[in-house]
Structure 1
Amino acid sequence: MNKHFDLDRDTASPASAATPPAALTRRTLLKASAAAGVLMLSVELPGTAAAATTAKPGGVATRDASHDAATALNAMVQVGPGDTVTLVMPRVEMGQGTYTALSQLIAEELEVDPTRVTLQHAPADDKRYGNPALGAQVTGGSTSMATAWLPMRQAGAAARTLLIQAAATQWGVAPGACRAENGRVVHPDTGRVLSYGDLASAAARLPVPALDQLTLKDPRDFRYVGQPLLRLDAPAKVEGRAQFGIDVRIPGMLIAAVAASPYFGGKVKSVDTAAARRVRGVRQVLNLGDLVAVLADHNGAARKGLAAAKIQWDTGPAASYSTATMEAELEAASHREGATARTQGDVAAARSKGARTLEAIYQQPLMAHAAMEPMNCTVRLSRDRCEVWTGTQVPTRAQAAAAEAAGLKPEQVEIHNQYLGGGFGRRLDADVVPQAVRIAKAARVPVKVVWSREEDLQHDVYRPYHYNRLSATLDAQGHPVVWQHRVTGSSIMARFAPAFFKDNIDGDAIRDAAGPYDFANLQIQYVRQEPPAGLTTGWWRGVGHMQNAFPVECFLDELAHETRQDPLQLRLKLLGKHPRAQHVLKLLADKAQWGAPAPAGQGRGLALTQAFGTYAAQVTDVAVAADGTVRVLRVVTVVDCGMVVTPSTVEAQVQGGNVFGLSAALFGNITVKDGRIEQSNFHDFRVMRMNEVPVMETHIVPSAEAPTGIGEIATVLSAPSVVNAVFAATGRRVRKLPLDPETLRA
């Protein structure tokens, strides 16, 4: 069996979900320094930097040999005067609750109320803030909690240990005679108390214990972990105090409205600069060849100036390209043998002995992210320094891109990261950063670039169009003895991290191409087929798990129907090696009343996944009207994501993931005509309205395992569960998304 690693790999395998990363099982160090009476602690993760990659513009990922694993700092906790506790966040907050959950972990071991923890965005630094699961400073792949579970607790425990020791030394007692509580160290025998702020300076001068000398709290004694804490970032967001990238203002800046060529590979043919300049407030009009930027005192003037410019475009080399062209090319490519990513057993022999073979083709379209906050970036550039304000999932990638665009070294670029108004994988690409640097360089003034919704939708980094050929051979009893799946589509990995695109296989594109199921004979293949230059594909919420759950879970339902088996029972038979998955399915059957008959015109569908280390399953109830309109009535989800830090966040992520995934399954479709994207705003790129959102139930399996990913799980399950429900209601099998009411009319 061939294994292919990629940047969005699972954080833990089913068998080792409770086992910390290998780096954490070895002796590691905590460093402390006394600076102005502040106790500063950092957790070192040997191995983090060893896997680090520095991404350069154009998608070239290279190893940085200067990242010495012995000095790789992952997170920093500061305890200072006034009892302040500051956490320098190694991950970004984009609505997934990371800031709250990581604060809970620190607070739990440090014995302070989580609401007393102040947060700072981490600077761009793979060496100190790299994600050990992804090898660089990246927030993605649902890895934040899995990779923070031990380091954050260890940092809190180390700070607690030093503060207790500092108090014990001052009182002349044994550390064991003292305890920490509510931000203070107490000596119960004498009633003496010292606050953390009073002890920080002395604690910073003490030798720091090794991690294997720390005592972590027993989960049974947790006060904050596992509690439905209110989001720490919510008050600032509700009151409008939180600063997102789009909110940044710096002295002397101009606002830039931008129009890049809507045609793949197109260029500016003409622009009415004089007309744009006549708009009051417009200061500059820049023609950079592939884009036009109008700079003004405020956004309104910039937009009006851009409209007045009446830009004419050269249609470029792909002017005749369309969705029909793409589908024809993918269909033709899917007949190629492809690169074999995974094999098991003897497929040819088992096929020849099987009773019958079933085949199907499943297709998923291009998809945009459409985050609420459009792409934006503010840049201040001088001869030897560049400052960038933006919200990004990849600070060091943004830093490298800015450096190349500015003609500087990465260390001359400072990234000021902000809150993200939605990521979903879109902000794993930093394409807006070099664009803003180019504009600032040409304008010679600080510039804030804000994309319009139209620009954001038509210049996205799209989820690839995937064309799936599936085949299953059944024995005489109707049991699948051969599973074959050939995935054809664009390779994100080849562009984003080419070092991990090996043997012509994109490891993410074929992820879960057989689900978590046990097939005696198995063959997974990948065929790379790219769209024209300028139509860029990228990560989308759920990544490869989501891309393959739709064809795998729906084709499995086809097998159950053809062999007159209950879809849930067939899955249970194929999950003998996954008792946690079996438990999730059985609990779901009970909570969703799986065996109960659905009313006329309604159907109930099922889907299962093991993704990001988490086991999850979902039942969706739908009603299909006579005109083919599908209404989702109820979604019941069961998740086993290990020990839960913030239950309310888990529930919120499942709900949000469902809305995201259902929107894509019901309406989502990015199409191409005449060499450009057709959709431009939410009138033709639909998302669910509030009145369309179904009743949602989330059930969390109690667990003592280490936490695993949750932010993308529901999106993985949404499409297959709703499509299987539509079949149950209508008897019509949907193999191409989004759902088309025309094909479902009674």
Structure 2
Amino acid sequence: MSFTHQSPLVSSRRKLLGAGIAGGLLFAFHLPVRGQDKPLKVSDVSTGPFAPNAFIRIDVTGKTTLVMPQVEMGQGIYTAIAMILAEELDADYTTVALEAAPPSDKLYGNPAFGIQATGNSNSVRAFWMPLRKAGASARAMLIQAAAVQWKVEPSACSAASGEVIHAASGRRLSYGALAEAAGRQTPPADVPLKDPKDFTLIGKPLKRFDTPAKTDGKAIYGIDVMLPGMKFATVASCSVFGGKVGKVDDTAAKKVPGVRQVVVLDDLVAVVGDHMWAARKGLEALNITWDEGANAGVNSAAIWDALRKASAGDGVVAKSTGDVAKALAGGDTIEAAYELPFLAHAMMEPLNCTVRLTPDACEIWIGTQVMTRVQSEAAKAAGLPLEKVTVNNHLLGGGFGRRLEADMVAAAVRIARQVDTPLKVVWTREEDTQHDVYRPAYRDTISASLLNGRIAAWKYKVTGSSVLARWFPPAFQKGIDIDAVDCAVDMPYDIPNFHVEYVRAEPPVPTGFWRGVGPNNNVFAIECFMDELARKAGKDPIAFRRDMLGKQPRLQAALDLVARKSNWSDTLPARAGRGVSVQPAFGSFIATVVEAEVDERGEVRLRRVTSAVDTGIAVNPDTIVAQLQGGLIFGLTAALYGEITIANGRVEQSNFNDYRMLRIDEVPPIEVHVIKSGEAPGGIGETGVTAGPPALRNAIYAATGVALRRLPIDKEAIAVRSKT
């Protein structure tokens, strides 16, 4: 799309992947796989008979270890990375061992944006070429070593399943036998990569590495760690954001069997016990007076009033093309505002951190998406140099962006400084829910005009807090949060007059990344508005979209496929409807149709979900299907039920009883159709999350004629308005 003006900024996370951000923090991880439970050191990676690069080690027995630069939190990335490395290395995939990378800026920086963190659905996208080159380079060195020994040309040799083969003579040497000699070879400067038609692993639905241990109970999450002599602690913080501890009466708590200690800090109180039950019962017995501070009167109504007021003002221009004002004035104009609430992460594994602290060292056991940031925060809290802090990473029982934060580590170390034994700190579900770092609340205002059944002008404004301004300031430039406007500045439709603004509005509520973040806001607003424009133009919602996707053939193909697979044109019963959404988010092109029915009370029942996706080369098709299924359920859950509300400065929700999930009997059949593609892989972890909510809302719109503009789904509004 051409345009006359664009702010001189990286305009989206997808463009950020291409441009990169120099410098910044680097993070790495340890995750036990196949029973391994010791963090690697940087020296471990570079020693041994054959360590050609940061990702591959082969010893004289032939054991091939692949070092994982990203963290496994259920998305299957360990399997995908192993497949990519083993493919170009021509290793025996059935025998490789996986280990997590140590902290190293130089070796394991994420090529996408210079931070070794797992998020933004970019693990495969970012490491696709570096991992392939690493594997191909190592294979070339092994072949060279064999060729020297056999006194033949390397071009006469090939590799397969952990062996180098000289076909003319029938000779073979295992990688183990060649390890020492290969280690003496000079890494080649530029090795040709495999043609995708020659892939033997990539593209196959191979079984995941982490599944067996999760199935038989051997998998170790952070919350499972047990140390000799360890005590347990659980905490209470002021229910009001920013509140402090006033007075603590611990008389009753110390009488609880198993309670060993009460730790009082300025912003939290912890009870230490022989086991979690003792710690929790002791915490319940405390009599705490809190200094609630300035936010004690904050409530949801005031927050939304402030957000709506902010959205009425001018924003910073993120992108502008053509003459929007003139085009809006000369066409058939429609306006709308869409709102999304605060959301909690509600991970299955509650927050936890285990600490062993001595006067000159600190060791941490945790599941985290940002290991070096954890290391840094632990060092600050312990008052130790960075090199005196060891971090052991484990499987994550869900992350969704919450474990991109290190606040739980700082708190655990501060408590541990008052305790003379190793300590595991666990946050209860209630503390976790009420002291989260929430998905921002957003308000999006849109004006558009129609001309000859197409969109002639589009004016869009995003209003909400900036996660990047706090979490990674270098990415927040000249008033633009590139994540907040992602999928807004680069929406796929061909619109000649186009304008996007961003208004930063910070509420008195901590906000952070939440599986999709900016795209799950913008895709919702854009795709809901597209249905309203289609109705205004008198067109079918799919046909209306398709007419403006001429410059997006991959997305157009996904839309055509989902129309066929969902039986889009088939007749439905009364009060049932189909809704569609399309998006090019995270480098993948996906079209989704949700089929739902609504009864007279406004109750919504999901009947069927169909998605078609072009995510480029599908490293492991089964993982792609599973991730989209899980993401769709995650997003539809939020659309139906998700909302964090504030009263008297406090979060009102506490657990799954009042922050509910979509239950198994409520999950509809979900079909995912993966389009065969030769393009570079896209991201998939957050794609389904952003796709489900607008398609569901549009299904309700089709079934009832009610154009909802706010989530979660308001059953009463549907019931009342669909009768009028």
TM-score (structure 1 length as normaliser): 0.90
Shift of 1:414: 2.0
State the Cα deviation string for residues 449-488 of structure 1 (Å, max 9, x = none). Answer: 111111111111100000111111223x242211111111
Shift of 1:34: 11
* Residue of structure 2 in register with 1:694 after alignment: 668
Amino acid at match of 2:568: W
The alignment's C-alpha RMSD in Å is 2.2
Shift of 1:578: 1.2
Distance, in Å, in 1 between the alignment partners of 2:666 and 2:257 is 43
2:566 is aligned with 1:583: no
Shift of 1:286: 0.3
2:317 is aligned with 1:340: yes
Amino acid at match of 1:99: Y
State the Cα deviation string for residues 424-470 of structure 1 (Å, max 9, x = none). Answer: 11111111111111111222432211111111111111000001111
1:76 equivalent among 55, 59, 65: 55
* Residue of structure 1 in register with 2:31 after alignment: none
Amino acid at match of 1:484: K
2:393 equivalent among 399, 410, 417: 417
2:591 alignment partner, SS class: strand
State the Cα deviation string for residues 48-81 of structure 1 (Å, max 9, x = none). Answer: xxxxxxxxxxxxxxxxxxxxxxxxxxx4211113
2:636 is aligned with 1:657: no
Residues 349-498 of structure 1 aligned to structure 2 (within 5 Å): 349-354=326-331, 356-475=332-451, 477-498=452-473
Distance, in Å, in 2 between the alignment partners of 1:572 and 1:201 is 58
2:74 is aligned with 1:95: yes
1:648 alignment partner, SS class: helix
2:595 is aligned with 1:630: no
Farther off after superposition, 514-523 or 134-143: 514-523
2:691 is aligned with 1:710: no
Distance, in Å, in 1 between the alignment partners of 2:48 and 2:267 is 53
* Residue of structure 2 in register with 1:283 after alignment: 260
Shift of 1:540: 0.8
2:123 is aligned with 1:144: yes
* Residue of structure 2 in register with 1:734 after alignment: 708
**2:93–2:161: 8 Å Cα contact kept in structure 1?**
no
Shift of 1:247: 1.2
Residues 231-250 of structure 1 aligned to structure 2 (within 5 Å): 231-250=208-227
Distance, in Å, in 2 between the alignment partners of 1:83 and 1:6 is 47
CA distance change for structure 1 residues 3 and 715 in 2, over 3 Å: closer, same or farther? farther
* Residue of structure 2 in register with 1:216 after alignment: 193
Amino acid at match of 2:403: R
Shift of 1:107: 1.3
2:18 is aligned with 1:4: no
Residues 261-276 of structure 1 aligned to structure 2 (within 5 Å): 261-276=238-253
1:508 alignment partner, SS class: coil
Amino acid at match of 2:521: Q
1:271 alignment partner, SS class: strand
Report runs of 4+ in structure 1 exceeding 6 Å deviation. 31-36
1:41 equivalent among 40, 52, 55: 52
Distance, in Å, in 2 between the alignment partners of 1:456 and 1:179 is 54
Shift of 1:381: 2.1
Distance, in Å, in 2 between the alignment partners of 1:332 and 1:713 is 31
1:617 alignment partner, SS class: strand
Distance, in Å, in 2 between the alignment partners of 1:270 and 1:402 is 27
**2:338–2:525: 8 Å Cα contact kept in structure 1?**
yes
Amino acid at match of 2:549: L
State the Cα deviation string for residues 680-704 of structure 1 (Å, max 9, x = none). Answer: 0000001110001111111111111
TM-score (structure 2 length as normaliser): 0.93
Shift of 1:706: 0.8
Percent identity, please.
51
CA distance change for structure 1 residues 85 and 275 in 2, over 3 Å: closer, same or farther? same
2:61 alignment partner, SS class: helix
Shift of 1:84: 1.0
Farther off after superposition, 337-346 or 673-682: 337-346
Amino acid at match of 1:202: A
Shift of 1:662: 0.3
Distance, in Å, in 2 between the alignment partners of 1:585 and 1:729 is 21
Distance, in Å, in 1 between the alignment partners of 2:515 and 2:542 is 26
Residues 572-611 of structure 1 aligned to structure 2 (within 5 Å): 572-611=546-585
Distance, in Å, in 1 between the alignment partners of 2:45 and 2:378 is 34
**1:11–1:143: 8 Å Cα contact kept in structure 2?**
no
Shift of 1:205: 1.5
Shift of 1:21: 12
1:200 equivalent among 179, 192, 199: 179
Distance, in Å, in 2 between the alignment partners of 1:160 and 1:79 is 11
2:245 alignment partner, SS class: strand
CA distance change for structure 1 residues 649 and 331 in 2, over 3 Å: closer, same or farther? same
**1:131–1:147: 8 Å Cα contact kept in structure 2?**
yes
Farther off after superposition, 269-278 or 640-649: 269-278
Farther off after superposition, 726-735 or 375-384: 375-384
State the Cα deviation string for residues 207-238 of structure 1 (Å, max 9, x = none). Answer: 1111x1x1322211211110000111100111
1:369 alignment partner, SS class: coil
Q: Point out where structure 1 has 5 or more consecutive residues left out of the alignment.
A: 23-30, 43-74
CA distance change for structure 1 residues 486 and 622 in 2, over 3 Å: closer, same or farther? same
* Residue of structure 1 in register with 2:531 after alignment: 557
Distance, in Å, in 2 between the alignment partners of 1:592 and 1:574 is 21
* Residue of structure 2 in register with 1:171 after alignment: 150
